[in-house]
Amino acid sequence: MLAASAALAAGCILAAIAAHPPGMSEPPDVREKILQLLEEGALYRDRIDWPEARQQLQHASGTAEADKILDQLIARSTGNHGLWIRASAMATPSGRMERIASAGQLQRPQAESAAASRKRESTEASDPIGWIAIPTFKENSTAPSTVREQQQLTFALQLQSQLQMEDAHDRCGWIVDLRQNQGGNMWPMLLGVAPLLAKNPNGKEVIGAFHLGATHQAWSLQPGRVLIENRTRLELNSPPYVLRHPAPPVAVLIGHTTASSGEMVTLAFRGRPTARSFGQETAGFSTANTPVPLPDGSVLLLTGAVAVDRNLKGDGGKLQPDVTVSNAADAEQSARNWLLTQPQCRAMASTR
């Protein structure tokens, strides 16, 4: 198993990739290097007969067949979460991989109808339930580290700013919508939503972990920062927002398109007191990728760890909601109904 590092994170977190001259074939040792990495560190490496895999590659009729064999080996040994990103592919606008992008814009989920959106806007000030949607986040992985960190901080601060605006109306409970979150870098997501995750805004608490073999690497929160083990992964450059009513009840909306880092955020809420999930099962990529640069300038996204919740529960597969609701509008209503039964909301209702 490869040692975990700061690069270990959920979703498609790409390392900077050097330019690769068009038309140049990969050095002959790249595929063997990939096999070595998979055999030593892929999460499901025991599913592969590695001597036989090498024989298949040696007898491939050409580059296209060899690449197809290798892609299949990557898929089988990583649970379909790993990927070999050719250097030339980084310049193309299409493909399975989300291209390099800046931080996404915060927005209400696409699943919310126009009528529901208008209704919510008209009752926003009086609504006791706060709402935040956490979108996919992709940073420009070819940018300098200082630029990438700034993109992460901007995203986290946007989330906290949205929380602050919602909280101005005295919310007793919150909905966190992850149904459109397909992954990316999990750390700015966790830092941005930390005011809702934390049971104690002034303390330190574990919110999840990576499970690597017999060991765990904990994710934790401290005021204004998120850590892996005892090392800061991302820290705000301004005071963190503290909710008017800390440790509120939280309803998490998930669905089939909730994937990778979206699933990590889901896990971070799982096991938190007064948190419950609603919707449908997730995509099933609750595992962690490490980007490994290769000699030809390409990158292997190597899936080597399972994400678990704060109680160390998780198997790398699909996450099941606490309450299964197939219809999007019904899931939202179920979440609201549950929140309104919680002590904080009942107490607030009795004073209005």
Q: What is the average per-residue pLDDT within 8-33?
A: 49
Q: Where are the beta strands (DSSP E) in 65-190?
A: 83-85, 129-133, 173-177
pLDDT of residue 87: 78
pLDDT in tens, 281-338: 999 999 999 889 998 888 899 999 999 999 999 999 999 999 999 888 899 999 999 9
Q: What is the DSSP letter of 129?
A: E
pLDDT of residue 351: 74
pLDDT > 80? residue 111: no
pLDDT in tens, 264-293: 999 999 999 999 999 999 999 999 998 899
Give the contacts of 289 (CB within 8 A, at least 6 positions apart). Answer: 8, 9, 10, 11, 12, 13, 81, 82, 301, 302, 303, 304
Angle between helix 328-340 and helix 343-351 axes, rounded to 10 deg? 70
pLDDT of residue 18: 31
Q: How sure is the predictor about 352, in pLDDT bands with cuts at 50, 70 and 90?
A: low
pLDDT in tens, 152-177: 999 999 999 999 999 998 899 999 99
Q: Would you say 307 and 208 are in contact if contact means Cβ atoms under 8 Å apart?
A: yes
pLDDT of residue 309: 97
Determine the Cα–Cα distance for residues 46 and 274; give it in Å rounded to an integer: 39
pLDDT > 80? residue 124: no
pLDDT in tens, 78-91: 999 999 998 776 54
pLDDT of residue 263: 98
The residue type of 338 is W
